[in-house]
Structure 1
Amino acid sequence: MYERGCSDADGEFVVSKDTSMALKYFEEAAEKDHLKALLHLSALLTTLDPPYFRPEQARQLLHRAADRYSSPDAFNLLGQLYEHGLGLPAPDLEQAGTWYKKAAREGHSGGLFNLAVWYESGNEGEDGRKRAAPLMAEPGCIKCRMIRLAANFDVRRGRQMPLTESMAVCSSESLRHPNHEARVFQLSKEL
């Protein structure tokens, strides 16, 4: 079912042109706890226009992915939902930090970047600000920053990088630190 929701012409994730059918297929696959379906469906439910915009459902799906698979992508996306208050009465910055830390501990580049920005924004006070600079210097974080800058540039030119594309790029293996396992272990002690 998951594959029916996407078109894989060039080996990349692209949502089927029929949004309602794509959502139907992703929902069927998510009911069977298919990890990629849970992640992509939640990303779509937070980026599409109404009536498809359903952030509460996206949060539930991400919690399932986090609980069942300990998915760093789910950790990072949960952090984003909590930080921006999507599907919540208000943003919950403490929960956002908790999820970003989990993603960063797993070596997720997007989670590392989001955690650094979260610290830089004054969360956890002056100690947090001091932690931001070393995190921003991490190779995966630098690449994520470049991707985000490119996305912002595209937004100014009238093209917005979809969340699913940003998510896929920031979590790809190519962004991992060359000595990934040792660096993740070291970061987990620091965070």
Structure 2
Amino acid sequence: MKKTLSLVAALVLAVIFSNQATAQEFKGLDKSPMDVAAYPSSYRVSDKVVKVTYSRPQLKGRSLGKLAPAGKVWRTGANEATEITFYKDVNFGGTPVKAGTYTMYAIPGDKEWTIIISKQLNVWGSYFYKDSQDVARVKGKVSKSKDNIEAFSIAFGDDKTMYLGWGDTIVSVPVK
């Protein structure tokens, strides 16, 4: 009788735990998937200078001005505020920035964008942005892309310049 009860109890527990394990639901892909840009860009290089973790919203027929309005602080991507990690002290657009992890915001403009490096971390969007937490505010030069860039993108050139591209707009900021 004891063996039967033990066996029944073991089977009941197995059913309970197996249902919980198979009941896990996984969400589909994010509408603005997360991505990483780094310098050097090769994943095989462990001696990085900078890495940016951001989400990539898409235009989907909308205007850049509607999604990242001129003159207003923007999270520089989608979802959580973009994070930028400097593995070494750098000169970011003419301003010295110590090694560390920060959030990166932008204020779009026609001829230049203001790129903001902030001490705030783990922030959703730019809703809680505080200028008192700024580490650097630099000007990014605006140029036009010959191709439409559907998904917001960040890349680094061979000269360590960081490029932000979306729609027909490309913003460049040197990182030395």
TM-score, shorter chain, exceeding 0.5: no
Which structure: greater helix fraction?
A: 1
Select the structure of larger CA radius of gyration.
2
Q: Give the structure-1-normalised TM-score.
A: 0.28
Which structure: greater strand fraction?
A: 2
